[in-house]
Each structure stands twice: as C-alpha cells, then as structure tokens.
Chains A and B, each alone.
Chain A
Amino acid sequence: MRKVSVAVVKLTSCSGCINEFLYAVASSPELLRRVTLVYATEFQDLNTLEEVDVALVEGSVATQQQEELVKSVRSRARLVVALGTCAVFGGVQAARVGEDLRRVILASYPNPDFVSVLPEVRSLDRVVRVDVRLQGCPVNGDSLARLLVKVIYGGGEVSIVENACSECKRAGVQCVMVSKGVPCLGPVTFGGCGALCPSFGRGCYGCYGLNTSLVDAERLAKFLEVLEKMGMSREDVNSLLKSFSYSALARLQARG
C-alpha cells in the first residue's frame, strides 16, 4: 500500500485550513493510514523537516523567518500545495499592506519595537513555486481529501475554473443579487465553497478569491458599479477584495 509523507507547514494564518486537513484525514481511516505526517508542529513532537512527498502550506509570508522556512520546504517537497486563501492570495492580513507599518503595529501593540514583520504580505507563489492551489478561507476539507487521495495514488486533480455562480445554480440556489438585490461577490469569485453564502440567503464576500482568469480590471470596475447600485460601497468591496484576494488584485492592477 502506497503512503505519502506529508508536511503541514503554518505561516501567517489562523490554523483553520490545517484543521480542515485534520478533518480530511479524520474523515477516513483509510486516508489516515496512507498519510505519514513527517512535519506538523500542530500535531506532533517530532519536527525535523526532511524530504517529503507533499507539503501543505497554510498562511502567507509576512516575516523573514517564514520566507526562509518556506524556501527550505520547497527544496524538500515534491509537491507544494498552497492551502487556503492566505497561502493563495495573502489572506485577511494582507489588508494592512501599503499602510504605515508603525501605525499598524501600534493599533495592536503598545511597544512596536518588539514586533518584526515585513511590510508586504506575500502569497506563497510570490516566494516559491507552487504546484497546486486550493483556495478557500478555510479551504474545503472535502476537496482537500479528494486531492490527497489522488496524490496518494500518484496523480492529481483535473482543474476546472469557474465562478461561484455555477455552483450556486447547480445547487438550485436562487441568486441573491438578482432576486433580493443583495450585493454578492459570487460572480467574480472562484467556485469551491458550494455557494455557501447564497445558500444561507446572503451575499458571497469572496473568501475563495477573485477569479482573475475571468475578470480583468475593467470588468471588475463595471461590476463594482452594479454592487454600488445595490448599496455596497466601492470602498467596502475593495477592502473585502484586499482581504481575500490581495495578490489577485495586485495582479489585476499590474496588468492595468
């Protein structure tokens, strides 16, 4: 029986995606049996990072140490998976980027000199090569389990890029934007959550990230006009996008 060695690496994040990993393996004893955790500070004591088949990396890179850690992980891992929105896009912590760092720190700490972080918050792919991206805040544990099984068998997942709306419609959920006038980021957000927010009657706030293979800056701007008409200010959408799609947004802006 084939086993894969897995490293679970945490950067700047909340551990939510790591917990989805825990769920993924706990949900199936057979899966657990095929995973050898070789590095996971959260679950075990043994912690030297050797060669691994898969590194699941949660979080974004916000400190010098993390940058070094992730590079060393890359050099030892066959497959690097960016696990979750933080790793794929930067995560909520990226909303501080571009602000005066001292002011940022002072909002939380009385003594800013004790805290050392980088001014940028980088998604994983801006530091190392990433093989698989699994977005979601948190990542969908079932998709992660699916991927792990395929990796264990020596393959991967066929990628299908579509927006949250497709999932929404397949699930038979009525569009909240069109039927209730509730602003929703679903039309520009990666699918993967199963249209969670709309299925609870609320608008999507974009935690699976902005799908830049579908929208460019111009289309996004026009879409924001629509949201604005529904009562959601540009400012609020932008802060959501910065929180959940930081690197995608940066890419869009760079493309012009």
Chain B
Amino acid sequence: MGARLVPRVGRVVRVVEEAPLVRTYHIRVGGIAEPEPGQFNVLYIKGFGEVVISVSNYSRVDGDLVVEHTVRAVGTVTSYMHSSIDTGSLVGVRGPYGRGWPLREFEGFDVLVVGGGIGLAPLRPILKYVARFRDRFGRLVLLYGARRPVDMLYKYEYGEYRAIPNSSVLFSIDAPYVGWDGYVGFVTDLIDRVDLDPRSSVAFVCGPEVMMKVAAAKLVKRGFGEDRVFLSLERRCRCGIGICGTCQLGHLFVCKDGPVFSYQEVRGYLAVSGL
C-alpha cells in the first residue's frame, strides 16, 4: 500500500550533455504538481533503484510538466542512467518533495546565489524565478565555481543570466586552465568581491558540504544573518518523504524538513563531525 511511494511514469524527451559525467534529462510527466525552486523529485529507474534529484527547471506542455533534472553519474543508479536512459526512455517520477528556497519570504531583497559544481542544479530555478519576477527582487549576484571550465553546467545559458537586469555573474575554477581568464581559486573567495549590503540581502548556497560551510561562515562574517543564509543539504536519501529515516541530520530530515535549511537551523549540527 505504498501509494506515496508509487511513481508516475514519465518519458525522457530530451537529453543535454552538460559536462563530463553530467547530463540533463528533460522528462515529460503528467499528474505531478508544479515544483517550487529548490524542490526535488525522486526518479525511479526500473529495476535499478531510485535517486533523489533536484528540479533544475521545468516547463508546461499540454497539461503535462517537463521537469529537468541534471544528473551526475556517481554511483550505481546514476551511472546506469547515463549509459542506458536516453530520449524516449521511461522513467518513474515522484515529487515534488521538500522545502525549497524561501523566495517568497525574501521579496524585496538582494539575492546572492553561490554554487559549486553540480550544486548549480538546484540553484538554477532561483535564477529563472528572479528573471521571471524581476521586479520582486533587488540585485541578483551569481557566484559559480567548478573544477574546470568544462565541468560548468548550463554554459549555454550564461548569456541569459547576464542579461537579467541588475545582475552580475562571477565564475571561478579550481586551478589554472588554458584559455580561462576568469578567477582561479575557490568560489567562496568570490564572496569577498561582492558588494551587496548584507542587511538587505539573502544568500542561497549549494555545493559540496565543505564549500557550503566555508561559504556560510564567510557570509555570516560579512554580516549576513544566519537566518538569511540558506543551504541545500545532502544526506543518503531513499524515500524522499521522511519515512525511511536515512537522511537524518540531527533531528532534521533532509528530505522533508529540507533539503533547504537556513544556516541557523543546521549550523550546530554541521559543526559536529559525523552527526
């Protein structure tokens, strides 16, 4: 009787090769709700398992949704997706789940988006959202870092981001690379170069956990309130709806209390190793 654990069946309508080992799947599916920025779906790959993947964008087509999921091949199911799931393939979709970025709460604020690597995926809907409701927010700053230029996601969209009025976009890569004239170093270094007034700004961060911790600490130091810095966390997620228990971080369930948390909520837990 696992009604909530039963996926809808969708079809992959397009696959975009983003970067080495990263592909974006556009999946057309009916009967699921419109996702909020920062929410995720659970994708079921028949016979192999489910994976929790953020919605990186979506659109509507004739009453169906086309949800975009940017997937990095790292383990069993995701690697199988890369080798065997292509345009035309059927994929199970459950969701959208979780608490996304609190954009409504921060209308009128300047928005700082900090992403690292695959972490840009759940942040992308923020960019789309701000672009769509441009007048509801102040400045928009995107800081995005990757290991190498080739690892950067959504390269084809950077023009679009830059074209958002009153916005700036800064990139970084980890180590020097031929032809790269942008910043070299940690993306968190870029925080120093941002001239936002912390008192009227909100920060949304997603990337590897160490990067998020550094970013949050830096932002707080710069004057961002701990309740104005939001992180999208990761733990082992199986059910997506808080009944399998494996995603607990302290008393929080990453899947249903998160994945987006204010730094205030999780700072204590993140400070203890292995909690």
A residues at B contact (CB < 8 Å): 149-150, 153-159
Determine the chain B residues whose CB is within 8 A of the CB of A157 once the complex forms.
Answer: 76
Please measure, in the bound complex, the distance between the C-alpha atom of A106 and the C-alpha atom of B259, giving whole angstroms: 65
| Pair B83/A158 contact, Cβ less than 8 Å | no
| Pair A153/B47 contact, Cβ less than 8 Å | yes
**Interface membership of B20, Cβ < 8 A:** no
CB distance from B191 to the nearest CB of A (A): 37
**Interface membership of B77, Cβ < 8 A:** yes
Determine the chain B residues whose CB is within 8 A of the CB of A153 once the complex forms.
Answer: 47-48, 84
Contact with A along B184-223 (1 / 0, CB 8 A): 0000000000000000000000000000000000000000
What's the dominant secondary structure at chain A's contact region?
loop
**Interface membership of B49, Cβ < 8 A:** yes
**Interface membership of B177, Cβ < 8 A:** no
Please measure, in the bound complex, the distance between the C-alpha atom of A153 and the C-alpha atom of B84, giving whole angstroms: 9
Which of B16-49 touch A at CB < 8 Å?
A: 47-49
User: Can you name the residue of chain A whose Cβ is closest to the Cβ of B46?
Assistant: A153
Determine the chain A residues whose CB is within 8 A of the CB of B269 once the complex forms.
Answer: none
CB distance from A238 to the nearest CB of B (A): 31
Determine the chain B residues whose CB is within 8 A of the CB of A159 once the complex forms.
Answer: 76
How many residues on the B side are at the interface (Cβ–Cβ under 8 A)? Answer: 10
User: Can you name the residue of chain B whose Cβ is closest to the Cβ of A153?
Assistant: B47
CB distance from B80 to the nearest CB of A (A): 3
| Pair A154/B49 contact, Cβ less than 8 Å | no
User: Can you name the residue of chain A whose Cβ is closest to the Cβ of B75?
Assistant: A158
Please measure, in the bound complex, the distance between the C-alpha atom of A150 and the C-alpha atom of B80, giving whole angstroms: 10
Please measure, in the bound complex, the distance between the C-alpha atom of A153 and the C-alpha atom of B83, giving whole angstroms: 10
Please measure, in the bound complex, the distance between the C-alpha atom of A27 and the C-alpha atom of B141, giving whole angstroms: 60
| Pair A154/B76 contact, Cβ less than 8 Å | no
Please measure, in the bound complex, the distance between the C-alpha atom of A157 and the C-alpha atom of B84, giving whole angstroms: 15
Please measure, in the bound complex, the distance between the C-alpha atom of A155 and the C-alpha atom of B45, giving whole angstroms: 11
| Pair A150/B84 contact, Cβ less than 8 Å | no
Which of B121-171 touch A at CB < 8 Å?
A: none
**Interface membership of B248, Cβ < 8 A:** no
CB distance from A28 to the nearest CB of B (A): 15
Please measure, in the bound complex, the distance between the C-alpha atom of A159 and the C-alpha atom of B84, giving whole angstroms: 20
Which of B71-95 touch A at CB < 8 Å?
A: 75-77, 79-80, 83-84
Determine the chain B residues whose CB is within 8 A of the CB of A149 once the complex forms.
Answer: 47
User: Can you name the residue of chain A whose Cβ is closest to the Cβ of B47?
Assistant: A153
Please measure, in the bound complex, the distance between the C-alpha atom of A159 and the C-alpha atom of B75, giving whole angstroms: 10
14 contacts between A and B (CB under 8 A): A149-B47, A150-B47, A150-B48, A153-B47, A153-B84, A155-B47, A155-B79, A155-B80, A155-B83, A156-B76, A156-B79, A157-B76, A158-B76, A159-B76
CB distance from A216 to the nearest CB of B (A): 16
CB distance from A34 to the nearest CB of B (A): 14
User: Can you name the residue of chain A whose Cβ is closest to the Cβ of B81?
Assistant: A155
Determine the chain A residues whose CB is within 8 A of the CB of B48 once the complex forms.
Answer: 150, 153, 155, 158
Please measure, in the bound complex, the distance between the C-alpha atom of A156 and the C-alpha atom of B80, giving whole angstroms: 8
Please measure, in the bound complex, the distance between the C-alpha atom of A90 and the C-alpha atom of B49, giving whole angstroms: 32
Determine the chain B residues whose CB is within 8 A of the CB of A150 once the complex forms.
Answer: 47-48
| Pair A158/B47 contact, Cβ less than 8 Å | no
User: Can you name the residue of chain B whose Cβ is closest to the Cβ of A155?
Assistant: B80
Extra contacts besides A155-B77, A155-B84 (14): CB < 8 Å? A149-B47, A150-B47, A150-B48, A153-B47, A154-B84, A155-B47, A155-B48, A155-B80, A156-B80, A158-B48, A158-B49, A158-B75, A158-B76, A159-B76
Please measure, in the bound complex, the distance between the C-alpha atom of A149 and the C-alpha atom of B80, giving whole angstroms: 13
Determine the chain A residues whose CB is within 8 A of the CB of B83 once the complex forms.
Answer: 154-155
Please measure, in the bound complex, the distance between the C-alpha atom of A135 and the C-alpha atom of B251, giving whole angstroms: 36
Determine the chain B residues whose CB is within 8 A of the CB of A154 once the complex forms.
Answer: 80, 83-84
CB distance from B168 to the nearest CB of A (A): 42
CB distance from A52 to the nearest CB of B (A): 18
